[in-house]
């Protein structure tokens, strides 16, 4: 998906969300969920739009999954209400640079609240409906594996936002770190659906 800084900014404004455009490396982190959800596939996008040190507008996107993988849809991650599926929306100050399973990643901030649906019928199909919960913890932004290429989401997401390729993730993280050095270690994430961009 090719999007410009101005395209993304306009969608943020259309939805009434905060868009950060003052200063360089003031990041807007966002996800775009496919309108054709296919379980276990990296068919979504995670992106960043920002102005660089020279004031140039930048828009970068990475193949990703904004949904849980098939494994956790079948096993519910020990929550009686089911596996978390993040609801589209803007989540202010939801992530900090921290760790995920021992490596540096964006980690859910203490006290941050995400809104999620919970899929509890174990049929392996994404259920984006029903009650909305705010009880999720450990909903991070990370990658899959630094050792091998990964084609399927599998166990890599139990509701987290996951960039498929580890090298893409390192590029993403290097930009995030630069922003943290300038503005502090707190990041907002906004999840859209792909039809928001039509």
What is the 3-state composition of the chain as percent helix, strand, coil, each rounded to the nearest 5?
20, 30, 45
**What's the number of CA atoms in the CB half-sphere (13 Å) around residue 181?**
8
pTM here is 0.96
User: pLDDT digit string (tens) for 28-79?
Assistant: 999 999 987 778 999 999 999 999 999 999 999 999 999 999 999 887 666 8
- Count of the separate structural domains present in the chain: 1
Three-class SS of residue 142? strand
Contact 150, 167 (CB under 8 A): no
Q: Residue 118 sits in which domain range?
A: 5-197
At 105-158, the pLDDT tens digits run: 999 999 999 999 999 887 878 889 899 999 999 999 999 999 999 999 999 999
CA 24 to chain centroid: 22
């Amino acid at each position: 998906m090719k999007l410009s800084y101005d395209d993304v900014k306009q969608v943020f404004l259309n939805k009434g969300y905060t868009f950060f455009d003052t200063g360089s490396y003031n990041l807007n982190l966002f996800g775009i969920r496919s309108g054709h959800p296919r379980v276990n596939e990296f068919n979504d996008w995670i992106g960043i739009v920002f102005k660089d040190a020279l004031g140039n507008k930048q828009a970068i996107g990475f193949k990703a999954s904004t949904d849980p993988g098939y494994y956790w849809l079948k096993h519910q991650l020990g929550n009686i209400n089911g596996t978390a599926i993040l609801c589209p929306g803007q989540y202010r100050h939801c992530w900090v640079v921290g760790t995920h399973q021992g490596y540096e990643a964006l980690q859910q901030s203490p006290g941050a609240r995400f809104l999620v649906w919970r899929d509890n019928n174990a049929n392996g199909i994404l259920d984006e409906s029903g009650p909305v919960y705010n009880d999720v913890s450990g909903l991070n932004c990370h990658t899959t594996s630094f050792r091998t290429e990964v084609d399927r989401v599998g166990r890599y997401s139990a509701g987290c936002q996951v960039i498929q390729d580890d090298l893409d993730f390192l590029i993403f993280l290097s930009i995030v770190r630069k922003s943290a050095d300038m503005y502090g270690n707190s990041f907002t994430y906004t999840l859209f659906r792909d039809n928001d961009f039509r």
